Structure 1
Amino acid sequence: MTSSPTPGLSRLNTAEDSEARAVLRKVCTSSSWTSEVLARRPYEDLDALLSANDAAMAGLTADDLDEAMAGHPPIGRPEPGDPASTREQRGMADAPEDLKTEMRELNLAYQQRFGHVFLICASGLGAEQMREAIRHRIDNAPAQEREIVRTQLGLINRIRLTRLAEEGGTA
């Protein structure tokens, strides 16, 4: 027996397509991902929604991933006025200035190497952990890094979808 949908999930299930699309685009800016998750409504429970995320993530093309990554600011520079971005990057907020400077430099080097922002599921990570992750990943082969990004983006989406389903507000 499945549990009934949470209030947030019920709102997502019953919202007009345009409203639901706008809410889902705050989770992930990939049009393909949004369309795939939207098409699978209604969701019985959070597990079903998270499974839809996983399936949609697996199907993203390189262009879809680029579109999704374009919606994420660099680590250490959360999107002004975006509570999700600020919350997710909380670990950099109190970092010493020299560490913030180093992260800006590493972000730039990463972006020059791979052509996109360094993407990591930063929730719960401290500044030093994020620095070590970018240092470790900057030497990856581009194809390997693209799959790591896909995984990290899927984790970020799962956190945002859970918040959406539980709280019913924006992701």
Structure 2
Amino acid sequence: MTLTGLARLNEADAREARALLLTCAAVPRWAEEIVQRRPYADVETALVAARAAAEPWSEEEVDAALARHPRIGERPQGADADAAHSRREQAAVDGTDPEVARRLREGNAAYEARFGHVFLVRAAGRSAAEILAALEERLTHDPATERRIAAEQLREIAVLRLEKELA
């Protein structure tokens, strides 16, 4: 029997539940904390626990989570859950528009040169224009401010992914 929704988190063995959570964010301590707090009465309680476990993530945890994210505007390859999440989240980014593609390539390169990691933004629900505006604005930040914002975006993405998994 395949578990779905909240039962997928509550009733799966610890290994399977951890694997599910790691597709939302590659942060083992976060995943373990959520697994240990099971069972959850409802999805919202699970999401509250996920938010709490992510406050804060260490620098190493942020780096690990960032390393699993593709660049905005590049289509993730593969059939794994990480790639599926990224494809769904970036659906509004039109890779067929050469101007958008160029600006994203250039912006991603400038961002990585400045901050040393991929530009990360919660892309779900945002248009390509909104994402480009966020990228250009965030290039003006100092490294400490940008690191804090990137960590916030990671947490938002992780919780949104978990919400999709539990729906």
Name the structure 1 match of 2:69.
Answer: 72
Structure 1 ranges of 4+ moved more than 3 A: none
Structure 2 stretches lacking a partner, 5+ long: none
Q: Contact (CA 8 Å) 1:57, 1:150: kept in 2 or not?
A: no
CA contact (8 A) 1:32 1:60 kept: no
Identical columns (%): 38
> 29-38 or 62-71: which moved more?
29-38
Q: Which residue of the partner structure matches residue 42 of structure 1? A: 39
Mapping of 1:11-26 within 5 angstroms? 11-26=8-23
Unaligned runs of 5+ in 1: 1-5, 167-171
The TM-score normalised by the length of structure 1 is 0.88
CA distance in 2, matches of 1:94, 1:109: 19
CA distance in 2, matches of 1:7, 1:125: 27
Aligned-residue RMSD, C-alpha: 1.5
Match of 2:97 in 1: 96
Aligned residues: 161
In structure 2, distance between residues paired with 1:105 and 1:86? 21
SS of 2:74's equivalent?
coil
Contact 2:4 2:166 in 1 (8 A): yes
Q: Give the letter for the 1:111 counterpart.
A: E
- How far 1:7 sits from its partner (Å)? 4.6
Query: 1:37·1:53 contact (CA, 8 Å) conserved in 2?
Result: yes
Deviations 1:82-103 (A, max 9, x none): 2211110011135511211110
Separation in 2, partners of 1:100, 1:109: 14
| Distance of 1:122 and 1:48 partners within structure 2 | 24
* Cα distance in structure 2, aligned partners of 1:78 and 1:151: 23
Distance across 2 between alignment mates of 1:40 and 1:132: 39
The change in CA–CA distance for 1:118 and 1:22 in structure 2 (over 3 A counts) is same
| C-alpha contact 2:76 2:87 (8 A) present in aligned 1 | yes
TM-score by length of 2: 0.90
Between the aligned partners of 2:67 and 2:102, the Cα distance in structure 1 is: 22
Q: Deviations over 1:15-38 (max 9, x none)?
A: 111111111111111112212222
SS at match of 1:92: coil
**CA 1:113/1:96 → structure 2, altered by over 3 Å: closer, same or farther?**
same
